[in-house]
Amino acid sequence: MPRIEAVATAVPPHVLDQEESMSLARHFFQEAFPDVDRLLGVFAHSQIRKRHFCMPKDWFTRDWMFAEKNQLYVEHAESLALEAARKCLERAQTAADSIDCLIFVSSTGIATPSIDSRLVGKLGMRPDATRIPLWGLGCAGGAMGLSRSCEYASAYPSRRVLLVSVELCGLTFIRQDMSKSNLVATCLFADGAAAVLVEGDQLAPATSGPRLHFRGAQTTTWPDTLDVMGWEVTEPGLKVVFSRDIPSLIQQSMRTNVDSFLSPLGTSVHAIRHFIFHPGGAKVLTAYQRSLELAADATRLSAEVLANYGNMSSPTVLFVLEKSMEQSWTAGEQGLLAALGPGFSSELMLLEAR
């Protein structure tokens, strides 16, 4: 079974607390919504304290076109991805030229050559390293990227895979978009990056101690749900699309989805000790708890990430994974990693300490 050797995260320098964000949102949306103060209640109920962005607060007060935003995306996504990747390799005591495959996940900008091609030389990777860029997976991207990384290491057990996930959600803000979805987005989304090193089981660990091993993964794409979550490409940029029905969909469908995944692997929700869930929002975590019959403490780490970083889309679940790996796992304990994204889709992973 492939194992996770290290996880590292990085955030940009500009920090907005939720009070500042709410004040900005009131300024932006007060003309469009006479009852703006009622709508701004979403900030008070978000359970988010602060978020990080690659651009300062004043940047959000101006109108920008997609080309201008995307130029900033390429610049800042590369630097943030490099920071997370270098930190991950340092934690794993692994040289960049020993990486055989680089999987890069992002959905908040476009680059050709893709960002991963830029990382190869700057990290000091071998020119013959396999590159797999994944785009359009949204909030599910970190989990899907980790699943594909583990499956690659299962197929090639003597290889190392570096997964890098970076999103700059702040750059997708459209000042001209007066929709309620955009108002909610100003409350939730943020910027961040994460990197994970996955190794095949034929490689000897660089350090001693227990590891999290990959037991299996499952992708589910529900039919007739293309309008639940995603981007609409417009002249000013990527316009956010997400449905208010997401918590209801989770509550209705997640238990069946999780049970169908865990049962063939010989386990169940009741046997899981660690829950590593993408915190799409406070209501999403509550929906997970209700659907899977979990106590609030089961998703405590997800709630902590949400409070301190907001929803960074794809890397967010990897922030939760990093926190979980800092906890004490006993050999044999199992963890369920889960994230939801456009499609409407879910990605589930079963991890086990060994």
Rg, the chain, Cα only: 20
Same domain, 30 and 156: yes
Give the model confidence (pLDDT) of 60-80 as tens digits.
988 899 999 999 999 999 999
- 125 and 237, same structural domain? no
Are residues 219 and 133 part of one domain?
A: no
- Both 304 and 349 in one domain: the answer is yes
Whether residues 131 and 250 fall in one domain: no
Q: Mark whether 112 and 142 lie in a shared domain.
A: yes
Q: How confident is the model at residue 176 (pLDDT cuts 50, 70, 90)?
A: confident
What pLDDT, on a 0 to 100 scale, did the predictor assign at position 208?
A: 67
Find the domain containing 42 and state its range: 3-199
193-214 burial string, b = 16+ CB within 10 Å, else e? bbbbbbbbbebeeeeeebbbbb
Do residues 193 and 235 both lie within one domain?
no
Separation of alpha carbons 220 and 204, rounded Å? 33
Around 346, how many Cα atoms within 13 Å sit in the side-chain half-sphere?
A: 24
- Asked if 189 and 222 sit in the same domain, the reply is no
Q: Residues 259-285: what's their mean pLDDT?
A: 94
* Residue 240 within a domain: yes
**Number of structural domains in the chain:** 2
Q: What are phi and psi of 11, to 5 degrees?
A: -130, 150
Domain-embedded: residue 266: yes
Catalytic residue (choose from 88, 101, 139, 150):
139
Query: Is-catalytic flag, 139?
Result: yes
The answer to whether residue 206 is domain-embedded is: no
The CATH number of residue 174's host domain is: 3.40.47.10
Supply φ then ψ for residue 112, to 5 degrees: -140, 110
Residue 98 shares a structural domain with residue 229: no
Residue 24 shares a structural domain with residue 171: yes
